[in-house]
């Protein structure tokens, strides 16, 4: 478990949120699925957020508000993909609204959120941009 994932698990426990940590191989599969669904096919490597196309982007406070709104509207479990610069880790979280609360209490890091069918991706990069892509 990487440091970011460990810190998020502590927040999830503190907020009594149902979650499951996923294996590193599963995290890589989610990254591959998101890239296939929403990525520029010419950008097969590099940061995932740089490959996303066809989305709406917000910056700063507008991005934080957009992330909260999108996450709060989600029903059912969501997958949080964490990009810790060395690779990916992932956590399945019971509800998007619960994740919104956890992210508000956390520090900034690169993350991606999707659902089990990868119908959308919500991304926050390290330049304070939030991007939302959907099918």
Question: What are the backbone angles phi and psi of residue 113, rounded to the nearest 5°?
Answer: -125, 135
Alpha-carbon 84 to chain mean position: 12
Q: What are the pLDDT digits (tens) for 52-77?
A: 999 999 998 888 889 999 999 988 89
CB 82 within 8 A of CB 4: yes
CB count within 10 Å of CB 28 equals: 16
**The two structure tokens encoding residue 52:** 């996303």
pLDDT at 60: 85
pTM for this model (two decimals): 0.93
CB 121 within 8 A of CB 32: no
pLDDT at 63: 87
């Amino acid at each position: 478990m990487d440091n970011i994932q460990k810190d998020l698990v502590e927040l999830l426990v503190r907020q009594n949120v149902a979650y499951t940590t996923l294996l590193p191989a599963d995290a890589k599969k989610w990254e591959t699925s998101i890239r296939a669904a929403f990525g520029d096919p010419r950008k097969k490597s590099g940061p995932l957020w740089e490959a996303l196309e066809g989305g709406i982007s917000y910056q700063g406070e507008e991005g934080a508000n957009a992330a909260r709104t999108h996450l709060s509207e989600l029903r059912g479990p969501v997958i949080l993909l964490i990009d810790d610069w060395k690779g990916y880790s992932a956590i399945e979280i019971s509800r998007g609204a619960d994740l919104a609360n956890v992210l508000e209490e956390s520090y900034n890091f690169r993350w991606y959120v999707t659902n089990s069918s990868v119908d959308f991706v919500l991304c926050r990069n390290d330049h304070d941009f939030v991007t939302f892509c959907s099918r």
